[in-house]
Amino acid sequence: MENFQISRLLDETAFWLEIAGESPFAVRAYATAATTVNRSDLEIAELVLSHQPYSLPGIGKTLSSQIEECVLHGRITFLDDLRKRFPESLRSLLKVPGIGAKLIRLFYEQLGITTLPLLKENCLNGEIQKLPGFGEKRVQKLLEAIAFAEAQQGKYRITPIEDEARALSSFLSSLPCVLRFKITGKLRRFSNVYEKLVFVVLGSDIGQIKAALEETFAGISQSGCVPEKFSFRTAPGMLCEVYVTEDQACWVPLLIETTGSAQHVAALKQLSASKGLLWQSSVLKDAQGHPFNFEKEEAFYALLGIPYCEPVIRENVYLPVVSDTPELLNLGDLKGLVHCHSQWSDGAHSLESMALACRDLGYTYMLITDHSQSSKIANGLEPDRIAAQHQEIDALNRRLTGIRVLKGIESDIRKDGSLDYDEAILRTFDWVIASVHNGLDLDKTEATRRLIRAMENPFTSAIGHPSGRHLLTRPGYELDMEKITDAAVTNKVALEINASPKRFDLDWRHLKDAAHKGARFIISPDAHRITGFQNVRYGVQLARKGCLSSDHILNCLPPEEFMAWQKKP
C-alpha cells in the first residue's frame, strides 16, 4: 500500500468524523495526518512490513496503530465503524464544487439530503433557502455547481483509465487466440477526461475471445455487427468496448475508425469516397471491390494522398497536408524539469533527492518552485526561509555534477494581480512562476485583468496553470484567452502547460492559436514527489495535441538560455 492510499483512508476518516459532529480537534488530527502521510518521503508500508521504527510529526500512538492496521489489512476498523453510521452516498456530495463536510452535515441533519438529486431537488423547491446563509444568489451558485458535478458523472481522469487499460492489456495478452491488440479511442489520441476504454483486437477465434471475456467480466453485451463489439464494465465500473475481428483487412481501418473523432473519421471517409474507394464494415476497397490489406496506418493515409496523421491530433475535421504537417514535440526534446515542489513547502522529498532523480532521468536542470508565503496551507516560504533554501541550492550546485538546480518560486497572484513578494525578494530568483490559488470567483473581465497585471510584473517568467481548473472537481475560471495570449507575447511571459493529471492546464485547444501569435510555453510536471516527474509525458502529449514543436517549449533549451528568459529589470 502506497502513502497516498493510506492518506485517502485517513482523509475519509476525517470526513466521517465531521459528519458525526465530533470535535474539531479530532477532525483536524486525521486531516493533518492524511496530509503528513501523503507528503512524507518515507515508504511507510515498507517500514511497517519490515518492522522498522518510524515517526511522523503530529501522529501519535492511536493514529500510528491505525496506519499499521491499514498497511497490514488494507482497512481501518475505526473507519469501518464510522461508515456504518451514515449513508455511503453522502461522500458523493463532495463532487459538488464548493461543498465540504461541514455543509454536507448541515444538509443531512436539517433536510435529510443524502444524494446529488436530493440536493438539487431541495434547491429547486426552496428548502435550501430556509437554511441560514442561503439566499437566492448562493442557491443559484449551488445549482451551477450541481450542474457541473452532474456533467462529470461517468467520467475519469487519465490515471484510473491507464490503470484499467494496463489490466485489460494483461488479460488480452494472456489469450492465445489474440494475435494482436491496440488501445484506441480517446486514450490513444489523448484527452483531458474519459468516458470509456476502447480496444481493437485481431484474433484467430472470436468465439474463444467471447468465452474468455464472459468468464472474466459480468454483463457482457454483444453488438452482432461486423466487426464484433463486446461491451462490459470492469470491477470499478468503467465502461469498456472491445472490437474483435478475424479479418486482417479490418485491422488498420478499424484502428482509424475507433481512434479518430467522429468528425475526423467522417472527413477521411468523404475523402476516400471522392477517390472512388469504398469504406464499409471497417474494410477499405478499390472500385472493383477488392479489399486493401494494410499493415500500418501510414499506408492507409498514403493511399488517400495525405501525410500520416498522428493519433493525438485526429480531432475535429483536421486532415494534414504537406505544407502544415507539424514536427511534433517528443519527450526526449525536454532538457529540464520545471515547477517542482520539495520538502521546503508541500513536497515529499528533499532538494538533493529530487535533483539526483532528475539527473537519473537524463535532465540537465531542475527548476525548484516551492510555494510562496501566501500559501500557508502549503507551508509557503517566508523571506528568511527563501534565503536558507538558496544557500542549500548553492551548496548542491557546487557539489553535484550533471544536474543544475535553479532557484525558482511559485508566487501567488493576489486578487489585484500583484505578486506576494516585493521586488527585492523576486530579484533573488532565477525564474518566477506566477499562479492563482485563491479568489477563483472573479468574473471573466476581472480574472483576465488579474493575470495580465501579473504578466506586467517585470519579474514574472511564466503564468502557472492559467485557468485554475481541477478536472472533474472544479471548473476553471473564465478567461479572455486572446487577451491573455497577447499580454504573454507583449510582456515576454511563458504560458504553462501543467501536466498534473488533475489539471492539464493550459487546455490543448488554446495552444495552436497561442503559438501562432508567438507565445512560448513551459511543460511542467507540477511534481510534489519524485514519482510526479513522470507527469511530463502527459504534458508532451498535450503539446503534441496542440501541434507544438520543441521550438515552442522553453524547457527544451539548455539551462543558460532557459535562465535568460527571466527578464529581470
Q: In angstroms, what CA-CA distances link 412 with 408, 434, 464?
A: 13, 6, 10
The reply to whether 373 and 477 lie within a common domain is yes
- CA–CA gap between residue 35 and residue 44 (Å, rounded): 14
Among residues 152, 178, 200, the one where a domain terminates is 152
Q: How many CB atoms lie within 10 A of CB 41?
A: 15
Nearest Cα to Cα of residue 366 among 346, 342, 340, 389? 340
Per the CB < 8 A criterion, the answer to whether 450 and 441 are in contact is no
C-alpha distances in Å from residue 382, one per residue of 372, 373, 422: 7, 5, 12
DSSP category for residue 540: H
Structurally, the chain folds into a number of domains equal to: 4
Asked whether residue 68 falls in the same domain as residue 206, the answer is: no
Assigned domain for 296 exists: yes
Q: Strand order of the sheet with strand 336-340?
A: 336-340, 365-371, 404-412, 431-435, 462-463, 494-498, 521-524
Domain of residue 486, CATH code: 3.20.20.140
Q: Are 424 and 394 in contact (CB under 8 A)?
A: no
Same domain assignment for residues 287 and 238: no
Using the structure block, give the residue that is written with the C-alpha cell 452532474: 150
pLDDT of residue 194: 97
Structural domain that includes position 181? 154-246
141 and 193 in a single domain? The answer is: no
| Distance of alpha carbon 453 from alpha carbon 439, whole angstroms | 15
Closest CA to 412 of 441, 440, 388, 391: 440
CATH code of 312's domain:
3.30.210.10
Give, to the nearest 10 degrees, the angle between helix 3-19 and helix 101-111. Answer: 40
Q: 399: which residues sit within 8 A by CB, 6+ positions away?
A: none
Q: If residue 181 lies in a helix (H) or strand (E), which one and from where to where? A: strand 178-183
Q: What pLDDT shows up at residue 1?
A: 81
CA atoms of 58 and 7, how far apart (whole Å): 14
Q: In angstroms, rounded to a whole number, what is the distance separating the alpha carbons of residues 163 and 135?
A: 43
pLDDT along the chain (569 residues), means of 10: 90 96 94 89 86 82 91 93 96 94 96 96 95 94 95 95 96 97 97 97 96 94 90 93 96 97 93 95 94 95 92 82 73 98 94 97 98 93 97 98 97 96 96 94 95 97 96 93 97 97 96 95 96 97 95 96 82
State whether 340 and 384 are in the same domain: yes
Domain co-membership, 366 together with 501: yes
Structural domain contains residue 251: no
Q: Residue 207 sits in a domain of what CATH number? A: 3.30.460.10
Statement to judge: residues 406 and 393 lie in one domain: yes
Helix extents (H) in 90-157 = 101-111, 116-124, 136-152
Q: What CATH number is attached to the domain comprising 57?
A: 1.10.150.110
Q: Which of 102, 132, 152 is at the close of a domain?
A: 152
Residue 467 sits at the vertex; the CA angle it makes with 464 and 471, to the nearest 5 degrees, is 105
Q: Parallel, antiparallel, or unpaired for β 221-222 and 228-233?
A: antiparallel
Answer whether residue 192 is part of any domain: yes
Q: Which three three-digit cell numbers place residue 18?
A: 465531521
Residue 75 maps to a domain:
yes
* Residue 233, helix vs strand vs coil: strand
Same domain, 293 and 224: no
Cα end-to-end span (Å), the chain: 49
User: Is there a single domain that holds both residue 461 and residue 337?
Assistant: yes
pLDDT of residue 325: 61
386 and 438 both lie in a single domain: yes
Is 401 within the bounds of a domain? yes
Q: Choose the final residue of a domain: 215, 246, 277.
A: 246
Q: CA 316 to CA 376: how far, in whole Å?
A: 43
- Bridge-based pairing state of the strands 404-412 and 431-435: parallel
Classify 175 as helix, strand or coil: coil
- pLDDT value at residue 324: 63
Asked whether residue 402 is assigned to any structural domain, the reply reads: yes
84 and 140 part of one domain: yes
Q: Of 421, 499, 482, 489, which is closest to residue 455 (Cα–Cα)?
A: 489
Cβ contacts of 129 within 8 Å, gap of 6 or more: 135, 136, 139
Asked if residue 569 is part of any domain, the answer here is no
> What residues form DSSP beta bridges with 522?
496
**Cβ(421)–Cβ(411) below 8 Å:** yes
Q: What is the DSSP letter of 291?
A: B
397 and 532: one domain? Answer: yes
Q: What is the pTM of this model?
A: 0.92
The kind and range of the H/E element at 245 are strand 239-245
Domain contains 535: yes
